[in-house]
Structure 1
Amino acid sequence: MCRSKEEGGMGFRNMAKFNISLLAKQGWRIMNNTESLAAKATKDILRKGLIWRVGTGNNISVNCDAWIPNGVNFRLLSEVELMPDQFVSTLIDNNERIWKEDLIEDTFDEEDTVRILQISLADVPHDDYLAWGGEASGVFSVRSAYKLLQTTDEFPRAYALQISYRNLYKKLWLLNLPTKIKITVWKITWNFLPTRCNPRAWRLFCCALWALWGDRNLRIHEKKVSTGSEIGNFVIRYIAELDGLERKKLTQTEVKPKWRHPPRETIKINFDGAFDVHNHISASGIVIRDPEGAILFSCSEIHKGVPSAFAAEALACRKAVRIGVENRWTEVIIEEDSRSVINKCRSSDRDKSLLGAYISDIKQMMYRSKPFVFNHIPRSANTIAHEIATESLKSKVGIYLEGRVSEYAENQRLRESVREPD
């Protein structure tokens, strides 16, 4: 009952563990405010959830500390005897600010090697610091502490079997069906019903199961009998009714916002990142335009060892800011459709997420330059940068074009060059 819905439970909270998670929040405050007085009962959970973010690597033990994202307890899978007392700094080329790839491949097993090489390094080294590994933001939350407590328990074998159906439960709770139907199917699956279907058939299957259960209850309690055809027609009508409601929502479409010319004396830089999840490669797409909508230049860059789509967006943002700083334009607006990256650039707080190294570089560059304006825009207003990033990722080749864009983006450029009425 206390498991999450996608893991086969009902999503109810285990209040004892939830209370410990609330107490852990006080422990988090201890770490960030040395003058705070809070209970010491939460030290264990904090130790389990903390991870080092690599800056210089001078303070992080290779074998003893938690510093590997997505690793078991954020640590190496196995201790490396060749590095008994070594620090992570020995794995970093400080001149280039890149990982010593050959050394890492020769020292660690394949899985740890991949994880290490995907850790972001800032161009400008900063001190190592601790972050909360349970949240993508790197900031403590009661929710993630509760989840950490749940996963460290020893579950009965029956629950262990249910883990293999994680995707099935996730699909179940996302179906466009009333909750009463989904709960009925949830009850059936606890008998380990071996069914895996595509979303459309799965939806129909769930609705049919619910209808059969309802018919069974009518037969027993009200002595009403329905034929198979009647039950089948009921299911078809019910699904059609739900689809009709969905189509009605979709007809209420909005006019998609378009790219807008920047104010006078202002340069606008649009950026986007495209990500290849299988090969961990990304492409940054950049387009720079003046107040008349004329292209100053467009470019793209290919990056290897990228851990996520969010990292791809942050890399593209760093590239955009670097271009703005190097060209010393008086007023610069930087736009993209990733709200997360834009908000991180606007924030004055240290970013403790896995993107922290890139955000640190961005803020270092901004500190030495005139502040930029960061705007979040919808994808429809960032089309050219998106096309550049996507096509560059396909070809695995970067570009640099002065005064123009590639042919695949030319039609979009013409449409956006027309200035909207003031």
Structure 2
Amino acid sequence: MLAKQGWRLMQGKNSLLYGCFKAKYLPRWSFLEVVETPNSSFVWRSIMVSREILERGSCWRVGDGLAIRVNRDKWIPNHPTNMVIHPPQEDEWEWSVVELINWTTRTWDRQLVETKFHSEDVEAILRIPLSRRHSIDKLFWLHNREGKYSEKSGYHLAKQLWREVDSQGECLTGGGINPNRRGYTGSVSTGEACLCFSGGIQSIPEPPSCTECNGEEFEMGTAAWTPVQTQLRCSYFPGNSSVRIQGEVMASFLARGPPIADSEEAKLLACRKALEFAVDTGFTYIVVEGNNTVVMNAILSSRTAYSWLGHLYDDVKCMAAGISNLTVSYVSRTANSVAHSLAHFAKKY
């Protein structure tokens, strides 16, 4: 429970709890940076005991990059230690992640990143998806899908830390962290996504067993056509692809997406790209269909997304709010044979 209060201090800066402790203990520093003082209250010292668990299990989600220090903070998900493994030789003073972003295109400044960092870190940094909007940096919990701290995940992390300390014969900073005391607990293969909508949008992935893309990048292709009197017949053969569309094609596009970490990210990026395309083209009636229940339910949910992809969900929801007639639903993969064939066809271009 104490770790949960610490998590609230890290997340809810408008809460009454944060307001009570800020003036005395957090005047200039965050909860993860503040130094415990001898005259601290018993409650504050108890919460501080859980800080090591929260620091170990949390990571920054890059928004505007202003609050994230390049060489000191954990901000690279799906990367060992979640930090820069090979720090640049030139240690910039107060170097923040905001300096690595090209705000004109809202993408990473590839040239600067490749110049400053080791190739292993470069690949991991360029994989981090960025928001299309101005969003602030937020901490998320690494040990569950929701990105929010839970007592269960904190308990298991505390047990892991305790085993590590026990094997080394040392004591944790702050001492007294026992995972059996509740009061003190605090790469997936990539694939290919193709977007298409017939009177709407469909977002589907390439099966994880795909051997053609080698797990590096995925293609995004979208075709839009009139929902009335439209029939599609697509066929895919190794070395020979053909797509025959009977009906009036209204718009289409093909784009190469960035490297991805998992299926959820692929489908979410595909959905965002498809909505951007639909809005730019002027469609007012859009149907979004996907075979990932996690992504579809998160888009439909009114709850805030705290995971490492939360800012991408916010992008999709923001665009969806501006569309007068939008339907989002889950469909089985077997219903996406046409889009699946289009995905194979798009890979050749």
Q: For residues 235-279 of structure 1, give each alpha carbon's deviation from its aligned partner in whole angstroms, at most 9, with x where no partner exists.
A: xxxxxxxxxxxxxxxxxxxxxxxxxx99xxxx3222223377744
Maintained 8 Å contact 1:315/1:358: yes
Residue 57 (structure 1) shift: 0.9
Q: Could you tell me which of 340, 343, 346 is aligned with 2:300? A: 346
Maintained 8 Å contact 2:219/2:346: yes
Maintained 8 Å contact 1:334/1:373: yes
Q: Which residue of 1 aligns with 2:7?
A: 28
Q: Which residue of 1 aligns with 2:71?
A: 63
Structure index of larger Rg: 1
Distance 2:202 2:122 in 1: 34
Maintained 8 Å contact 1:273/1:315: no
Residue 72 (structure 1) shift: 3.9
1:365 aligns with 2:319: yes
Distance 1:287 1:94 in 2: 29
Distance 2:290 2:160 in 1: 37
Residue 107 (structure 1) shift: 1.5
Maintained 8 Å contact 2:78/2:261: no
Q: Which residue of 1 aligns with 2:132?
A: 123
Q: Aligned ranges for residues 194-343 of structure 1 at < 5 Å?
A: 267-274=199-206, 278-292=214-228, 294=230, 296=249, 297-343=251-297
Q: Which residue of 1 aligns with 2:94?
A: 85
Distance 1:293 1:270 in 2: 19
Residue 36 (structure 1) shift: 4.4
Distance 2:11 2:260 in 1: 30
Q: Which residue of 1 aligns with 2:186?
A: none
Which structure has more helix as a fraction of its residues?
Answer: 1
Evaluate the alpha carbon distance shift between residue 28 and residue 85 of structure 1 in structure 2; reply closer, same or farther with a 3 A threshold: closer
Distance 1:271 1:106 in 2: 35
Distance 2:60 2:121 in 1: 16
TM-score (norm 1): 0.56
Secondary structure of the residue that 1:382 maps to in structure 2?
Answer: helix
Secondary structure of the residue that 1:130 maps to in structure 2?
Answer: strand
Residue 55 (structure 1) shift: 1.2
Residue 288 (structure 1) shift: 3.5
Q: Which residue of 2 aligns with 1:154?
A: 164
Structure with higher RCO (Cα < 8 A, 6+ apart):
2
Secondary structure of the residue that 2:200 maps to in structure 1?
Answer: strand
Secondary structure of the residue that 2:218 maps to in structure 1?
Answer: strand
Matched to 1:123, the amino acid is R
Evaluate the alpha carbon distance shift between residue 106 and residue 370 of structure 1 in structure 2; reply closer, same or farther with a 3 A threshold: same
Q: For residues 306-355 of structure 1, give each alpha carbon's deviation from its aligned partner in whole angstroms, at most 9, with x where no partner exists.
A: 23222211111012212332243343221111112112211223323232
- Name whichever of 83-92 and 296-305 sits farther off: 296-305
Secondary structure of the residue that 1:354 maps to in structure 2?
Answer: coil
Distance 1:147 1:298 in 2: 48
Residue 117 (structure 1) shift: 0.8
Q: Which residue of 1 aligns with 2:336?
A: 382
| Percent of residue pairs bearing the same amino acid type | 29
CA RMSD of aligned residues (A): 2.9
1:137 aligns with 2:146: yes
Matched to 1:122, the amino acid is S
Q: Which residue of 2 aligns with 1:74?
A: 82
Matched to 2:203, the amino acid is F
Maintained 8 Å contact 1:53/1:352: no
Number of aligned residue pairs: give it: 267
Unmatched runs of 5 consecutive residues or more in structure 2? 19-42, 168-196, 231-246
